[in-house]
Chain A
Amino acid sequence: MQKYRRALFTGAAVMLAACSTMPFFGCADEEDAITLRVANWEEYIDLGDWGEDELIDIYNPYAQSPEEDGIIGENSLVDDFVEWFNANHDYEVTVEYSTFGTNEDLYNRLSLGDVYDLICPSDYMIEKLMYAGELQPFSQQFLDTADEENYYVNNVSPFIYDVFEDYNDGQGKTWNAYAACYMWGTTGFVYNPEFVTEEDAATFGILNNGDYFKQVTIKDNVRDAYFATLGIIYRDELLNTSDDEIRSRLLNDTGDGTIAAAEDMLKDIKENVYSFETDSGKADMVTGKVLANYQWSGDAVYILDEADGDETNPTELWYSVPDECTNLWFDGWVMLKKGIDGNEKRQEAAEAFINFLSRPDNAVRNMYYIGYTSSIADQTIFDYMDWNYGAVFDPSDEEYFDEEMTEVYEYDLSYFFGDGYSLYVDAAALGLDTQNMQSATEYLGEEYSNDIPYTVYRGGEINRGRQLFGQYPTANVIARSVVMLDFGEKLADINQMWINVRCLDLLDFDPVVVGIVAAVAGTVIIAIVLYCLRYKIFIKKYRPRKGYRMVSGN
């Protein structure tokens, strides 16, 4: 008994210790500590542990010595947040960080009763949750631009802000009142320019183009597939319009006739594409199993990087945005009413988390680590872009710059960063239409004391390029981009359409063939049954003659 008693005591002590550190169990007083429950996409935040050679040596106003420290991820951003927050507040916060794989996965978990304070779904899921009244609007403090520590509202790109301002919750509040954009991007085709022509990669038609039979992949995701299909169906209308509203209406068309047409088109696409890939598309593109892949821009950048760095077979892949249109997508942080539950401190902590991630140096860390494009527009981010893609040769830094690169393009990023922000980048990494562009010879490297004459191109349209184009498309691409909204009540119809596409439909076969096969199968089954029961049916049971009786064997 002594032994058991000791075990009991130890158990009780452990329980007490656990309770005192975990207010989640309800033992501790909520005043002292807040546990923030955050759900984010997998691999969608900087987890630290960078090597020393990965230091981004740009001016970092948030470091202790801005000139020298640069930006580097030592610890996970989540841990950094906890440290940063607890140093500035009179109560403690801990973060319970979990991840999800798809928006549907997150939604399923929410509807099954999981509780989170802060989640990061995509645009349409934000819309869906917002209409269902599940989202907690931001506080006035969060939206106050006078506070310098409100990194999100002070640094978010005006471009993102304006797009969010275009949509509302149906009760007069815009998306900006609920959601803080985290990452954004476009959709397009990653392709191998060695085998795919520019014209073919510049249209959704590549998906059902017989020249690329079983050589193109598309995501196993009804929304992306449906969008691409609408791009094919409405190709002529889309190419002939410059009206944003018409474009948005066409690509958010969920009419019954359109769904039926999309089903037929998707069946053709299914026959023609390599596969509807769940997760294999990136690797297949890098290893060269497929020649083109419909992707989100962030993953496209990742694929391009991987293919460049492939040790055995480095390949130069490109990213192209279709001429018809592109899906402008966002992932944003939103707070859930159920999680925050009117607790002001909890909300303060959640908003601080968003602000911490929006601090420009942290945004750079995320961009470096995950390859997607942050919604933050700030000098630090721009410096990082210059550090990454700037093409003007600095003789003191030969490691990064190429003396022989003398054809540059002035890449205009003013739509995102504001007026005057443009970058001189390698012209060979962009699909330039040199016929319709201005060109001039200039000496750009004077500040670095380099006297190389550069050929500088300006203006025109750019529809394909390498990593920079993937991260920040040009303004002409943005002009034809469309936000794809939630399917709303049509969700079930479109899901059913997708299932119909993926299933083997008997009606797609020749009825004669189906009939013959069914007849043969039926005959075989009947034959087997008859064979098994042959003694019972065909052979007469033995009956003794009259006057005799049957004697059993025993």
Chain B
Amino acid sequence: MKVRFNRKQLCIPYAAFLILFVILPLLVIIYYAFTNGEGQFTFDNLVAFFSSTNTIGTLIYSFALAITTTLCCLAIAYPTAYILARSGFRKKYVLLLLFIMPMWINFTLRITALKEILTAIEGNIAAYPFINSVIGMTYDFLPFMILPLYTSLLKLDKNLLEAAQDLGANKLRVFMRVTLPLSVPGIISGITMVLLPSMTNYVVLDMLYNSTYIMGSLIGSYFNGFEWHSGSMISLILLVIIFIITLVTNRFSDKDDNGGREVIL
């Protein structure tokens, strides 16, 4: 007897996985977000979120942290990726490896090490919670920014650059008018990969002694206090925000750009 699966049957495990671990939880979140303790339909949770200066403050704080982190990542990653992609180094894969390597180690371990380094530099690290959180998250997410930038810069057609130079553009102009616009998909993809997770990555904040909540810790604290409804509503709001951001950024991204996943490492 020969066992044969057709395509539809092969899909079953994935479909089951998606339904069990993505769609069902999502429905549960939506149900809890719009009900109260007695199970009645209500918008109270939504109203409560937007009428409290605390939750709005947390949202702003999360955004501030995430945007600063993303900008820092971009500022470090772009030159790095540019040099890596454009240089004629024979050993550039080694260099790239050095940047990617931290990704192989669990981030809590890396942040623990970072804590000691920062303590050596700053003395009392609890005095600079915001800066430390940004440093920690930048350290954590930097490879996610470098990889897409590196691939999109690598794909860049050298003939275009030569053509621009032939037409009399100086180096700066070539960069501004050719390289930068063509690397926008990589930038966008890097931003999505850094901005969104850094809004909820509260473990880094905890480990670096930042006692102010961000969205992730806010959700966690509601769940710990058995308040499923408020916690679900905040999760849902966060989900909507993330969805909007992805929708906006998708407009800019290149259809055949794969966000750095093709790098052979």
Contacts and interface: CB of A to CB of B under 8 A. Distances in A.
Interface of A: 1, 4, 102, 104, 107-108, 111, 214-215, 220, 270, 273-278, 280, 289, 491-492, 495, 498-500, 502-507
18 contacts: A104-B226, A108-B224, A108-B226, A220-B206, A273-B126, A275-B126, A289-B124, A491-B225, A495-B225, A502-B213, A503-B54, A503-B55, A503-B218, A504-B213, A505-B53, A505-B57, A506-B53, A507-B53
Contacts of B126: 214, 273-275
Nearest to B203: A278
B1 interface: yes
Contacts of A102: 224
B238 interface: no
A275 B1 contact: no
Given A502-B212, A504-B60, A495 B227 contact: yes
B253 interface: no
B207 interface: yes
* Most B CB within 10 A of own CB, among A214, A278, A491, A492: A214
Nearest to A271: B211
Contact of B119 (A1, A289, A498): A289
Contacts of A215: 124
Nearest to A269: B211
Given A278-B206, A507-B53, A499 B218 contact: yes
A273 B55 CA distance: 23
A214 B227 CA distance: 32
A3 to B, nearest CB: 10
A131 to B, nearest CB: 15
A123 to B, nearest CB: 19
Contacts of A505: 53-54, 57
Interface size class of B (residues with CB under 8 A): 20 to 34
A340 B218 CA distance: 37
Interface string B122-164: 0010110000000000000000000000000000000000000
A104 B223 CA distance: 10
B222 interface: yes
Contacts of B124: 214-215, 274, 289
Contacts of B218: 499, 503
A500 B54 contact: yes
A4 B3 CA distance: 11
Contact of A503 (B58, B127, B207, B226): B58
A296 B169 CA distance: 70
B56 A506 contact: yes
B61 interface: yes
Given A1-B1, A270-B211, A499-B221, 14 more contacts: A102-B224, A104-B224, A108-B223, A108-B226, A220-B211, A274-B209, A275-B126, A502-B213, A502-B221, A503-B57, A503-B61, A503-B213, A504-B212, A505-B54
B53 A280 contact: no
Contacts of A502: 211-213, 217, 221
A112 to B, nearest CB: 11
B61 A504 contact: yes
A342 to B, nearest CB: 28
Contacts of A277: 209
A513 B160 CA distance: 48
A104 B211 contact: no
A499 B222 contact: yes
Interface string B32-59: 0000000000000000000001111110
A1 to B, nearest CB: 6
Nearest to A278: B206
Interface in B194-216: 206-207, 209-213
